[in-house]
Structure formats: structure tokens, C-alpha cells
Structure 1
Amino acid sequence: MKQKTTGIIILAAGSSSRLGQPKQFLQFNGKTLLFHTAEQALKITDHVIVVSGAEPIGIEKQLNSVVNINNENWEKGMGSSLRKGLKEMLLLHPGLDNCIVTVCDQPFIDSSVFQSLIDQQEASGKGIVASAYAAISGVPVLFTSGYFGDLLSLPDTGGAKMLISTYQHDAAEIPFEKGAIDIDTMEDYQKLTEGL
């Protein structure tokens, strides 16, 4: 039986308007949040794509070893960036079995979370495996290839959570309690850094 191939899409297109500066470039433990996420993803697979938008040049400089796709329509919504990332992923890796969708503002993401998604998919046989935290099912989330069409059909303002909700009968979860910690405001970032 051939080994399943997994791609990871990192959504990093937003302008961080609530924060007042690009969250992708915030420093935590000596690295930017985006660099850390990409570094952890690359421990799992070399099929990693970052979707930029508001800060394409800064992201390109940070991640010279990762494919960076600029979504010029990023302001339309996350669904727009997700579709763009998956289209590029499937062009580069047409035989992909799974795709993990993640974001760059969860500072406690690490490769073990991505690996747990893959392991749970293999154990459960489910088509979707989400991360569970704060009483929700969210990102990072793994989709098997049977859901690529649904992802490519998402509306601009849609996202992975829409599909998790729609296909609950075919979804499993892994625990990722620290996934609830994300950076949307400067207060969030101050709490994070003061907790070190």
C-alpha cells in the first residue's frame, strides 16, 4: 500500500486590521509566527504552500524555501485564499491524498498537531479531521481528497469550518487545547509574551 501524501496550506493573507500591524511578522520565541508555522509544517511534508495577500513581499522574504502564492483578491475573504492555495497545491502535487489547512496566528502549533491529524484520519477513516478547542472544531483541519471539490467551491467568505459543520457525520477530531490561543489584537499578543 502506497504511503499517503499530505499537503499543508498556511493561510496568511489577512491585513491584521484589529492588531494594527501584520500578525504574520510578530515575534514569539525568537521567530515570527509565520516562520514558526512553516517550519513545523515542513517537518511533516515538503508540500507546503503559504497564501499571502496584504503582505506578499514581506512574506516572500521570510519564506524563501516555501512556495508562496499571492492572492490578489484576499480582501474578498478566507474562502478566496483557500481556493487559491488548493488550486496551486493540486497543480504542483496532483496525486495528493490529504490537505491540511492551517493559519499562522496559533503560536502553539507544532508538527505533532499536524501528525495527529494524519494519524487520526488513518485510524478513523473519516474524510475530515479537525482540531478541538474552546468547544469548537477548527483549524488546523485535514481534508481527504474527496473534499477537494467542496473546498474549491467555497464562497469567498466561507472557510474550513463551514465544511466541518456541513459534514459532521464524516468528521473526527483531535484535542488541541492551545489552539484556542490565537493573536487577533495587541492585547492577545501582550498576554502571550507576558506569559513566557
Structure 2
Amino acid sequence: MKTAIILLAAGLSSRLGRPKQLVEFQGKKLIQKAIEEAQKSKSDSLVVVLGWNPELIKSGFDSEKIPFVTNENWEEGMASSMQAGLRFLMEKGHPDQVILMLVDQPFVDADLLNRLILEKDKSGKGIVASSYSETFGVPAIFDRAYFEEMLSLKGSEGAKKVIMKNRAEVFAVDFPLGAVDLDTEGDLERLKNWEI
């Protein structure tokens, strides 16, 4: 099974007021940390989806070596960025399954990504999603059977819509730290207090 990762890093970070992709955590920019964890995982390929100010965000990682795609329609919302990444992967390598991950979940690591891959294989389910804050979310892995559905999402709809619509086909992996994302300066302050 060929597994590809879509790392979404296209947003404006409007609530934070500065690009969260370039915020430092544990001595690394968030985008670099996310890329390194993806590379350490058992996935076969990765694409980074850029949108807002791609030249600036590219300063946070080695864009000569890491495949990326720029979503010109990033302002339309998460759906178009996810679709830009998925189309890129489908054209390049025909993955059997894709993992969707966000740049602003600092506790996502290779172990979690590998767990998603393993549990999908073991459970026989079409989707394995992270479970936190009493709901399902990303990172999540989707079988190619769901690619068309993912490509039909609109605007701010994200992978969660696909997860919720196919609840019977979802296996959940417990990931309480998935609830930690970085949208405001307050979130960043709280993050500094986390001892890992």
C-alpha cells in the first residue's frame, strides 16, 4: 500500500497575526517540524500545500528537496488546499491512501502517523481518524475510495465532513494532544508551558 501525506500549510494565520507555519517550537519552525515527522514516518511520499505568501513560507523548509504545490485559491478555504495536494499526489504517484495533516498541530509525530497506517491495515476500515475533544479529526488517513468525495468538498469544508459522513467506516485512534492547535498568541503562550 502506497501512503502519501498532504501537509496543509496554506493559511493566512489571521487570528495569530503572523505566519504560524514559521513559529518556532522545540527549536524548529512548525513547518519544518511537521515535514521531518512526515519524513520519519512509514509514508512513501509527501506534498506541502502552500497558499498565502508562498515565498515567505518556503523560507521555513528546503523547497528544493521537498515537493510542494501552491494553491492559488487558498482563500476559498481548506477544501481547495486539500484538493490541490490530493490532485498533485494522484498525478505523480497514484497513492493507495493519503494522510491529511496540519502544520499547526505541534504534537503530531511520526509515531502517530505510523499508528494511523498500522490501524488502517489492521482494522480493515477505510478511514482512520484521530480522536480528541470528543470528536474525530486530523491527522487522518483515507483510503483511495474516498478521494472522489474529498475532491467534491467546497469552501471551508474539510476532511471532517468526509469522516462524519462515513462514520461506520471510521476507526478512531486516541490522540488527546490533537486538540492543541495554534490560532492565537494565547495558544502559543500555553504551548511554551508544555513540558514534553
TM above 0.5:
yes
Q: Which ranges in structure 1 are unaligned for 5 or more consecutive residues?
A: none
Find out whether 1:48 has 2:46 as its counterpart: yes
Q: For residue 22 of structure 1, what is the amino acid of its counterpart?
A: P
Give the number of aligned pairs.
Answer: 192
Change (3 A) 1:54 1:151: same
Partner residue, 2:192: 193
CA distance in 2, matches of 1:121, 1:77: 28
Partner residue, 2:82: 82
Aligned pairs for 1:5-24 (under 5 A) are 5-24=2-21
1:118-176 CA-to-partner distances (Å, cap 9, x unmatched) read 11101111101100011110000100111111111111221100001100011111011
The secondary structure found in structure 2 opposite 1:17 is: coil
Aligned mate of 1:36, from 33, 36, 40: 33
CA distance in 2, matches of 1:117, 1:42: 15
1:59-82 CA-to-partner distances (Å, cap 9, x unmatched) read 323222211111111000000101
CA distance in 1, matches of 2:112, 2:86: 20
CA distance in 1, matches of 2:60, 2:190: 25
The secondary structure found in structure 2 opposite 1:38 is: helix
CA distance in 2, matches of 1:20, 1:179: 22
Aligned mate of 2:56, from 58, 66, 70: 58
Aligned pairs for 1:1-196 (under 5 A) are 4-44=1-41, 45-64=43-62, 65-94=65-94, 96-196=95-195
Q: C-alpha displacement at 1:194, in angstroms?
A: 3.0
The secondary structure found in structure 1 opposite 2:107 is: coil
Whether contact under 8 Å (1:51, 1:85) holds in the other structure is yes
Q: For residue 161 of structure 1, what is the amino acid of its counterpart?
A: K
Whether contact under 8 Å (1:60, 1:68) holds in the other structure is no
Q: Which runs of 4+ in 1 moved over 3 A?
A: none
1:13-36 CA-to-partner distances (Å, cap 9, x unmatched) read 110000010000000000011110
- RMSD of equivalent CA atoms: 1.0
Q: C-alpha displacement at 1:46, in angstroms?
A: 4.4
CA distance in 1, matches of 2:69, 2:56: 13
CA distance in 1, matches of 2:181, 2:151: 26
1:32-60 CA-to-partner distances (Å, cap 9, x unmatched) read 11110110001123410010111311232
CA distance in 1, matches of 2:107, 2:146: 27
CA distance in 1, matches of 2:83, 2:50: 13
The secondary structure found in structure 2 opposite 1:138 is: strand
Q: Which ranges in structure 2 are unaligned for 5 or more consecutive residues?
A: none
Q: For residue 175 of structure 1, what is the amino acid of its counterpart?
A: D
